[in-house]
Structure 1
């Protein structure tokens, strides 16, 4: 199974959800995937399942994810200025950092960088790397309540 294909499908789903206003349920059928260059035979059931998990989880936790992104943007960046490709990659990756603790932060960040290089603007991968690095570090630090419980 290639989790990269699953992440690309999830990214494309989130982008279509954000830009096209298409209902998530319609997007999660992935009937659009072959039209966008991902033939059904090129993605297996596990990849589609992983993409569904990422996309649905991201949308379910969207307000918390967006707050995390806003909190970790550089002072001169306005959340509304983040282009939709970068935002979709960031949202998906922040979901993984916060809710998929079985996946190493370094893997999540590297995958986001690779997807940004493929689909984003020329230097968007640097921006994505910086934001995810901050969020990844913050997510790995236990809260005071968690630390005292150990």
Structure 2
């Protein structure tokens, strides 16, 4: 038996591992950006990310769920986001679009993830990858969206 056990994607209580989910979002955002910019197939991008990155400590199931779910729900996600934006969607940078769409997907389709986690993780991604002030734009848009999509959770 190996001294190095296989890293778990969840903790002992069966909850998702926050660090593994964070890394999944990180790679999913980059993959969605690449999909939008390069127009490559999702399958090719997914394969590239799985081969080129150390996915040992990544929730790969979550990565795949986002990467496949966002394009599948693209028109729905954009329709949800547009009223929440302080500028036209055509003015939103590709990095911001990838982050916003990822977050909108989580808010709408992954109700197991608290809305505050979705917003905080998205703000962190925008601080890392976006323009200097993009985290404020992301935070404002997602706060508006969460109030519409997660109204029951927010009122608790």
TM-score clears 0.5: yes
Contact 2:81–2:141 (Cα < 8 Å) also in 1: yes
Q: CA offset at residue 107 of structure 1? A: 0.2
Match of 1:146 in 2: none
Q: CA offset at residue 45 of structure 1? A: 7.2
Unpaired runs of 5+ residues, structure 1, are 143-150
Q: CA offset at residue 48 of structure 1? A: 2.0
Contact 2:31–2:49 (Cα < 8 Å) also in 1: no
Q: CA offset at residue 71 of structure 1? A: 1.5
In 2, the alpha carbon distance for the partners of 1:82 and 1:62 equals 15
Match of 2:133 in 1: 123
Match of 2:77 in 1: 65
Q: CA offset at residue 89 of structure 1? A: 0.3
Q: CA offset at residue 30 of structure 1? A: 3.4
Contact 1:9–1:48 (Cα < 8 Å) also in 2: no
Q: TM-score, normalized by length of structure 1? A: 0.84
Calculate the aligned-residue CA RMSD, in Å: 1.6
Task: State how 1:97-136 maps to structure 2 within 5 Å.
Answer: 97-136=107-146
Moved over 4 A (4+): none
Q: Alignment partner of 1:103: what SS?
A: coil
Task: Report Cα offsets for 1:17-61 as digits up to 9, x if no partner.
Answer: 000111111111134763xxxx32xx2275222111111111110
Contact 2:27–2:49 (Cα < 8 Å) also in 1: no
Match of 1:148 in 2: none
Contact 2:36–2:94 (Cα < 8 Å) also in 1: yes
Higher helix share: 1
